[in-house]
Amino acid sequence: MDFPTADLRALADALGDAVGSALAGDAQQGLSDAELVAAVRTAEDLGRIVDATRLALAGEIGRRADTEYGDDRITASFGCGSAAELIERATLVSGATARARLRTAKAVTSRLTLTGQSRPAPLEHARIEMAAGRLSTDALTTVVDALRPLLGRCSADEIAAAESELVRAAVGDDETPACGIHELQIMATTWALFLDPDGTLPDQEHAERNRGLRISHRSHRGLRRVHGDLTEDVAAQLDRLLDAHLNPRVQDRGPRFTDADDSGAPDEHVHDPRTVDQKRHDALASILSAAASSAETPTLGGAAPTLIVTATEADLAAPDGVAFIESAGGPVAVPASFARHAGCHGTIHRLTLAENGSIVSLRIEDRVFNHRQRKALGARDGGCIIPGCSVPAAWCEVHHAIDYANGGPTDTANGVLLCWHHHRGIETSGWEIRMVDGVPQVRPPAWVDPQRRWRGPNRLLRQELERARSA
């Protein structure tokens, strides 16, 4: 049977013209909700057929690129070093996409024996459903990733049984609807564990031997690279801690000013300009800050692990001043605003040196809120007081509403809870804080509220607590 290359080209042109003209005119905006959902499903069905064609052709390119073809390899004919490079150049997709297609296609591509006979694909049932347009690429990849490591380790009958059950679950039948990708991943993992528990479970010895975390000694434009490999349990624990900070339910709902106030201002959505990676960074900063102050954290020299920030009196007062922090690679210059941020919730040692470097005087200003004050502030504020922020009280820092250097006392009437991100940027973000009858009020920057009205603190965490209690 000849492959319909010309028909495929004509179909692609016709489909491009039809869909392109519709999308160019924004015709989809005139669809009803039901019509829009139906169109999404139809487009997905069409995409599955296209994906099946892509994989079939990629698999054939991969087969013809095998070394058994010698100088007649397709890659040699087109002057490419690999099948992935050939696909990348022919289709203008990324190298990662080309390699992913080849990796998946290999499991659903039939092979030819030395006698010229066709041998079924390693996952023949998945190939059939894919070719029929019933199996999505995501579902196929899930099945392939689970069963490919078992090829050669388990019998053909065992692989076929697992493949049949997984593919049937992915496409559904007359009695059972198709399952989602998350469910399919769980099923695939369960099958892999059942068929080959020793080979599927993580290699504990390998993980213990190769675990590690590295922090670069040199920084590039104020950033230092962190890289390494975490064991599954440590990575899962970190995921949970970050998830606690980056609660998607809170973020998706979006921070809104809903408190009743004298201004009668309407609800306003506040956009958080940080990327997801930036939010993870700031969440990790809060976690490290909380861990350093924990009573269970080991001490250094009899004291809690302390970040030492050094600045002169003049630099500390100057908007563009410079401070220094002690790091593994030696002293690192940072903006003086960092020192002011650290000094707001830490202890300041005012050291006076003579011209020859000898110590003239040492005065200690302890501006740290004690644990009883922190508990009281946590009960009052619930967490970071900036509207929309979901960081809980335990991971917040205490900020002096009136700066300590300006006479602000270290007591609950002058303390508010701020997360690391909002505390660090309080000088430049435009948010302002004041205390009224022992209760904090916040004023947003102009880009959030052009009228810059004072409002009550963040009630999002308190509302979550009340909702949990009433559930």
At 254 the pLDDT is: 39
Same domain membership, residue 443 and residue 335: no
Which residues face 365 on adjacent strands?
Answer: 348
Helix (H, G, I), strand (E, B) or coil at 2: coil
Q: Which residue has the tokens 């308190």?
A: 462
CA distance 254 to 370: 33
Same domain membership, residue 272 and residue 417: yes
Same domain membership, residue 375 and residue 362: no
CA distance 354 to 208: 52
| Cα-based distances in Å from 471 to 166, 251, 464 | 37, 21, 10
- CA neighbor of 286 nearest in space, from 174, 422, 101: 422
Same domain membership, residue 73 and residue 119: yes
Same domain membership, residue 429 and residue 327: no
Establish if 42 belongs to a structural domain: yes
CB 112 within 8 A of CB 119: yes
Establish if 245 belongs to a structural domain: no
Establish if 222 belongs to a structural domain: no
At 168 the pLDDT is: 92
Establish if 242 belongs to a structural domain: no
| Cα-based distances in Å from 371 to 45, 134, 380 | 59, 60, 14
CA distance 313 to 325: 16
154, 183, 200 — which closes off a domain? Answer: 200
Same domain membership, residue 140 and residue 73: yes
Task: Please give the full DSSP string across 86-125, using - where no structure is assigned.
Answer: HHHHHH---HHHHHHHHHHHGGG--EE-TTS-EE--TTHH
CB 282 within 8 A of CB 421: yes
Domain holding 11, by residue range, is 1-28
For the entire predicted model, the pTM comes to 0.46
367, 394, 411 — which closes off a domain? Answer: 367
CA distance 254 to 270: 7
- pLDDT tens column, 50-91: 888 899 899 989 988 887 767 778 988 888 888 999 999 998
Same domain membership, residue 166 and residue 137: yes
Same domain membership, residue 1 and residue 35: no
Establish if 209 belongs to a structural domain: no
Task: Please give the single-letter amino acid code of residue 49.
Answer: I
Number of domains in the chain: 4
pLDDT < 50 positions in the chain: 248-269, 300-301, 304
At 460 the pLDDT is: 57
At 203 the pLDDT is: 58
341, 367, 393 — which closes off a domain? Answer: 367
At 425 the pLDDT is: 79
Same domain membership, residue 110 and residue 33: yes
Establish if 247 belongs to a structural domain: no
Q: What angle do CA 448, 450, 456 make, to 5 degrees?
A: 60
Same domain membership, residue 127 and residue 168: yes
At 111 the pLDDT is: 77
Same domain membership, residue 171 and residue 313: no
Establish if 207 belongs to a structural domain: no
At 448 the pLDDT is: 78
Establish if 463 belongs to a structural domain: yes
Same domain membership, residue 176 and residue 161: yes
Helix (H, G, I), strand (E, B) or coil at 390: coil
CA distance 323 to 319: 12
| Cα-based distances in Å from 416 to 113, 140, 256, 438, 439 | 74, 52, 20, 10, 9
